[in-house]
Amino acid sequence: MTRIASQLDLGAARPLSIATADGPIAALHSGPPDGRPALLLPGYTGSKEDFGPIMDALAGAGLHAVAIDLPGQYESPGPTEVAGYTTGALGSRVREIAAQLGDGVHLVGHSFGGLVARAAVLAGADLFASLVLMDSGPAALSGSRAERIELMRPLLPELGVAGIYAASEALAASEPDHVPDPPELAAFMQRRFVAGSAAMLAGMGEAVTSEPDRVAELAAAGLPMLVMFGVRDDAWLPQLQREMALRLGARCVEIDGAAHSPAVENPEATATALIEFWRAQG
């Protein structure tokens, strides 16, 4: 049976601060410190907590799972300039973190985090044992999610981060199928959004809506790869991700009962797919 979790379900995961040249990175980690590292990158406006519901399962498989807030997100300070949030700049920080975790890091990028993970691999695949692209795509985000980013971007200087959150919530509430989060989760979602920097919100928004197609370059990197996504993903459409998997020569797994956040919407199936993929690498 599909189990719906939430970003509040962190299991035994513990906080961790990772030093980088540009400042500390906030993380959650679980599992044996000497286990094979799995580095998990969240999407735009996301955070490390988006992987909370799968951390115990990864730890139980003997992995050292490390989920981070990217620079500027939630509890990680970040650059004050928009230019610091390109996929290339963020990918450099990911490489710095991966180098500290040990040899053969399994890298997972969710949504915009997948574009960052790709940039990290394209800068040199030597640090990584595999790459998982979770609900991410071959190029820039399009459709209604991209339209919402473009709608909000010019309002950021006037409204600030808190105002953008309020406007986004009002827009979401006006949709006919909207289901509000429970109060405790809603409070967390607001807290993490407004904790993010304005430069991050603008910079990542620009990056996710302008990323070029780099699938051919990534295929040439030679890493084992997995493309996985919720069957109802409404960001990058499932067919687009299936086509990307074919172009990459990657395994493709569709997560039942999930849309754009399978680690929360179906954590058991998501963790199982990840563990099976990694075990197949030996």
Enumerate residue ranges in the chain where pLDDT < 70: 1-3
Is residue 192 assigned to a domain? yes
**Hey, what are 85's tokens?**
């949030």
Is residue 231 assigned to a domain? yes
Distances (CA, A) of 274 to 13, 148, 154, 168, 277: 18, 31, 38, 32, 5
Instruction: Say if residues 128 and 109 touch (Cβ distance below 8 Å).
Output: no
Given this model, what pLDDT does residue 3 score? 66
- For residue range 242-255, what is the model confidence (pLDDT) as tens digits? 999 999 999 999 99
Q: Please state the φ and ψ torsions of residue 167, each to the nearest 5 degrees.
A: -65, -40
Domain that holds residue 35: 14-280
Q: In what order do the strands lie in the sheet with 128-134?
A: 14-18, 25-30, 63-68, 36-41, 105-110, 128-134, 225-230, 251-255
Is residue 169 assigned to a domain? yes
**Hey, what are 123's tokens?**
């800068």
If DSSP codes are grouped into helix, strand and coil, which group holds residue 185?
helix
* Phi-psi domain of 115 (left: phi exceeds 0; alpha: psi -120 through 50; beta: other): alpha
Is residue 220 assigned to a domain? yes
CATH number of the CATH domain containing 20: 3.40.50.1820
Is residue 32 assigned to a domain? yes
Is residue 264 assigned to a domain? yes
Is residue 6 assigned to a domain? no
- What is the count of structural domains for the chain? 1
Given this model, what pLDDT does residue 175 score? 85
Given this model, what pLDDT does residue 223 score? 97
Given this model, what pLDDT does residue 117 score? 98
Is residue 67 assigned to a domain? yes
